[in-house]
Structure 1
Amino acid sequence: MTARHDATRDRIEAELVDPLGALGLDVEAVEITPAGKRRIVRVAVDRDGGVNHDDLVEAEHEVSRVLDDADVLGEQPYTLEVTSRGVDRPLTLPRHWRRNADRLVKVTTTDGETLTGRITGCDDEAAHLDVSGQGRTLPFGEVAKALVQIEFNRPGGSPHQEA
């Protein structure tokens, strides 16, 4: 992606933070992908407790309004997609860990260790995991990559549902 695309993406994200925040939503990602003469603009949103279809419809209307009012995309046509964060996105902020409490996560640390454990909680500095029955505190600065693992036979109930 070019510096111009990065600047456009950053400006879109900045324009969306307050309006979507007023709906109780966090902007998790903005992606712009060329698609012939159009662009695809994907905006991922989330909130504590997750998002449902109605939240995504309301967010899409607000994102469309903001993009039209801000004229950040210029005259080139685009297709807008507003989605939930999804389980395939890495956990990069404390709120991502908090929102995935009790989920299984695979973590690669900055020193190359790979571990899988259940998120038991987090604070602003670290995630707390149960790794094979042992408690482990993992400072966020030591996390190189963390991804939620999909569980089909999740303990205590049905699999996690995504919007």
Structure 2
Amino acid sequence: MSENRPTHTGLEGRIADIIMDPLEAQGYELVRVQVMGTETPTVQIMADRADGAGFTLDDCEKVSRLLSAVLDVEDPIESAWTLEVSSAGIDRPLTRTKDFNNYAGFDARIELNFPGPGNRKRFTGKLAGADAETARLVLENGETVELPRSDIRKAKLVLTDALIAFTTQPKVTN
């Protein structure tokens, strides 16, 4: 597993495997695949630009055309489905090791599949980084909890003024 790649399972994992290489070849990174609905499912793809620049409407269109063609050929869903491509947004999901590390110090909510430290499933605090196995979060009381990444159901940044300021500042290039 690369720090730049999210982990998916089931149908979402199969779709991620299909689209990952073509997406990266065009200068993008996959943030998340989510399949919603059953009768006519929506395949939601969230992506970032690999160069760190903002993900624009033009990027959405380019990625949508690319992935539509790739998924039409591979046809991972037997019924009719809809493709939706978007940026991860400011209060983005945290799916990759690099997300947890790039946003260390910012507020996040993490929900586990199974009870974790303190027999809890939901945690809110400041991100303190991650590695491939564990995400660290500093709770309001100052306690640092280590949460198994394999048990994380969902994790996302909390929208705060500090996060908005951080994500809207111009990127410095050398």
Pick the TM interval, shorter chain.
0.5 to 0.7
> Is 1:28 equivalent to 2:36 in the alignment?
no
Tell me how far 1:105 sits from its aligned partner. Answer: 1.5
Q: SS at the partner of 2:71?
A: helix
The equivalent residue for 2:159 is 150
Corresponding residue number in structure 2 for 1:123: 131
What corresponds to 2:171 in structure 1?
none
- Gaps of at least 5 residues in structure 1 are 1-5
Where do 1:5-154 residues align within 5 Å? 9-22=12-25, 23-34=27-38, 38-46=40-48, 49=52, 51-53=54-56, 54-73=58-77, 76-86=79-89, 87=91, 89=93, 91-107=94-110, 110-111=116-117, 112-113=119-120, 115-132=123-140, 134=142, 136=144, 138-140=146-148, 144=152, 146-151=155-160, 153-154=161-162
2: CA distance, partners of 1:7 / 1:143: 16
Does the 8 A contact of 1:60 with 1:81 survive in 2?
Answer: yes
TM-score where L is the length of structure 1: 0.64
Judging changes above 3 Å, is the alpha-carbon distance between structure 1 residues 82 and 134 closer, same or farther for their aligned structure 2 residues?
same
Deviations 1:34-63 (A, max 9, x none): 45xx44322222456475123322211110
> Hey, what's the Cα distance between the residues in 1 that align with 2:136 and 2:16?
30
- Please say which of residues 49-58 and 126-135 is displaced more in the overlay: 126-135
SS in 1 for 2:162: coil
Q: When the two structures are aligned, how many residues end up with a matched partner?
A: 150
Alpha-carbon distance in 1 for matches of 2:142, 2:38: 47
Q: Deviations over 1:114-157 (max 9, x none)?
A: 65322243333444444458473625359656442221x327x6
> Cα RMSD (Å) of the superposition?
3.7
2:53 and 2:38 mapped to 1: Cα distance? 29
Question: Cα distance 1:58–1:126, how it changes in 2: closer, same or farther (>3 A)?
Answer: same
- TM-score, length basis structure 2: 0.61
Q: Displacement, 1:31?
A: 0.9
**Bigger share in strand:** 1
Identity percentage over the alignment?
Answer: 23
1-structure distance, mates of 2:24, 2:150? 29
